Chains A and B, each alone.
Chain A
Amino acid sequence: MLTYDSVQELIEQATLSGKTIYQIVLEDQSIVLECPIEVLIEKMEKNLKVMEEAIDEGTTSMLKSASGLSGGDAFRLKRALNDGKTVGGTVLDNVLIKALALAETNACMGRIVAAPTAGSCGIIPAVLLTIQENRNIPRSRIVMSMFTAAGIGMVIARRASISGAEGGCQAECGSASAMAAAALVEMMGGTPEMAGHACAIALKTTLGLVCDPVAGLVEVPCIKRNAMGAANALVAADLALSGIKSVIPVDEVIDAMKSVGKLMHPSLKETAEAGLAATPTARKLASEIYCSSS
């Protein structure tokens, strides 16, 4: 059975048996949960369906959150892409649209799948679904790669944290980006070792990111950080797929993320006391929101 104490364990176990990370995670979870592999796949597919519904909810109409702080950005970007006004290209922009749509649906108290958290729910599905569509990859492969993401996420949760209150945004959007990057590498047929490098690279590039939500709400800057985390996963996956390696081994990067999270001042860990949350505009918005709600 797997301990999920290190990503290296996942890479070694997979490589030794000539399998992928998702295969060994699936086999392990089937034993641990006393549940046939097919049932686990079916359950993950249901999660994927909820993710797709949330994307539809977020892209087909102009959402507006209860606070009035957010909503409608996925719709705006989709329109701009269709009008040929953007520069990122179809793949990148579709990733961004989906990430925004999921994060906005979440902010509007819609139904989403935490991946690994609600605040970072847009990153993994945006990346995997866009590339799957773009490359005509069978739907079953995307479900499989979600087990890669989950396996990596379990290690990060055990070794460091996936909570913004404990580790800042690097632990939420950073972890989601790392999970998405590793999953994308395996979905594209990369090796377990490449997946490990993708995870390390994505986490390295988000290290130190603080959690400073305006008015304490999962809206500003969380929604845009989902777009950033998804784009960052593409960066990390492309680097890893080309054979570029992370100089610092993946587990050491995770440990570094943990220690940075511990050093981070509490005012920058979801308490809305510093960073963007402490700007004059944020304070003004916060007082307006709380005045009108009480």
Chain B
Amino acid sequence: MNVFDIIGPVMVGPSSSHTAGAVRIGRIARFLLNEEPLNVRIVFHGSFAKTYKGHGTDRAILAGLLGMLPDDRRIKDSLTFANNMGMSYSFATADLGDVHPNTVLISLKGKSGRELEILGSSIGGGRIIINKINGLEVNFRGEGHTLVVFHNDMPGAVAAVTHILARGCINIAQMKVSRSCRGGKAIMIIETDQLIDNELMMSIRSINCVTFAVVVPSE
């Protein structure tokens, strides 16, 4: 958190948590899918579920999925943009359990058939947390550049990735690894001070145990 998270962001109203934060969650989901989303299912929980229509949270999530930023004046027309792009979407409400009151579950299917499910919360003032990706706890805020590596749990996986980052003089601010079970599917979340370039990303993706890797750049 820094001063511009508090006096900021510059955004289109009406709600920093229900509009700007929702755009941010959508935007991160778009980067994680790494391709144009074709089918989108959005489930709202708690205060999001009660008030999403009034706050334009539905339009905000879609705007983020379309790659818009929270200060984009086109946010209120995002449903039309999505329709024109042939994106199909649905909105529902549900009790998602013991989560933050402003939480949304987004299920995405992309052009190539790639699927992704993310659980995100808007925690006030436009700040957000991505709680889960494909059911795995990740808890990152996406405030800095965030490298997300989908991999198989095995010895040396973290070292292989961080070795490449070290080679590229990329400094790690924070990192976290979660896995479904020993030897199962795992996700590495690495927040970096510098943006990772394409060449390094190619190297990371070519690591044996890595199934996929993307960078969510800071806004």
Contact = CB atoms under 8 A, between A and B. Distances in A.
Interface of A: 4, 25, 29, 32-34, 40, 43-44, 46-47, 50, 67, 105-119, 121, 124, 146-147, 149-151, 153-154, 157-158, 161-166, 171, 179, 213, 215-219, 266, 269-273, 289-290, 293
A25 B6 CA distance: 13
Interface in B1-52: 1-20, 46-47, 50-51
Contact of A269 (B47, B54, B125): B47
Contacts of B18: 218
Contact of A217 (B8, B14, B20, B100): B14
Given A149-B7, A273-B50, 8 more contacts: A111-B73, A117-B125, A118-B126, A149-B6, A153-B6, A161-B124, A217-B51, A266-B101
A220 to B, nearest CB: 11
For chain B, give the interface size range: 35 or more
Contact of B8 (A29, A114, A158): A114
Nearest to A214: B54
Contacts of B19: 118
Contacts of A44: 3-4, 7
Contact of A109 (B3, B76, B125): B76
8 contacts: A117-B16, A149-B6, A153-B7, A157-B125, A165-B47, A216-B53, A218-B15, A271-B101
Contacts of A217: 14, 51, 54-55
B47 A114 contact: no
Main secondary structure of the interface of B (DSSP, over half): mixed
Interface string B128-148: 000000000000000000000
Nearest to A271: B50
Nearest to B14: A218
B102 interface: yes
B54 A67 contact: yes
Contacts of A147: 3
